[in-house]
Amino acid sequence: MGRRQWWRGCVTGLGLGLLASCGAGWRRAATVSPGEWRPRQQVQVWSGTRSYQWHALVVTADSVTGIPFHQSVDCARCRAGLPRSAVDSVREGRPVAGFWKTFGLVIGAGVAILAVCCRSLGGN
């Protein structure tokens, strides 16, 4: 293989690694029991094929309500809801943890790919 082919392969591998590493740190909530969640806790509420990204989630015996994530937690008129029977699942977002995992993966994978590319091109 020529140097250009190796270089293209390295750049392509790095690009694919960057795309694959993006993640918000979502995890499925074990239970969705009545009560209030932490106001800034980011959640995805799934109903059928739709998802709603909310915070300030309140779960009652018959409904799940929250404020769209792009709105302030103090915006009471912005609160939206679904009947609890329509909710398929809830996922908790951990954007800070997701950021650090993505950061570590991007830096680690990038350094590894560049090291392999440099080594294969004859660098020391």
Confidence of residue 111 (pLDDT cuts 50, 70, 90): confident
What residue segments make up the domains of the chain, in order of their start? Answer: 3-7+19-120
pTM above 0.85, yes or no: no
Instruction: Give the pair of three-digit tokens for residue 108.
Output: 């680690």
* H-state helical runs in 1-124: 3-21, 95-120
Question: What pLDDT does 103 receive?
Answer: 79
Instruction: Give the pair of three-digit tokens for residue 64.
Output: 């799940």
Residue 124 has pLDDT above 90, yes or no: no
For residues 116 and 124, give the distance between their C-alpha atoms in angstroms, rounded to a whole number. 11
pLDDT in tens, 56-89: 999 999 999 999 999 999 998 999 999 999 999 9
Confidence of residue 11 (pLDDT cuts 50, 70, 90): low
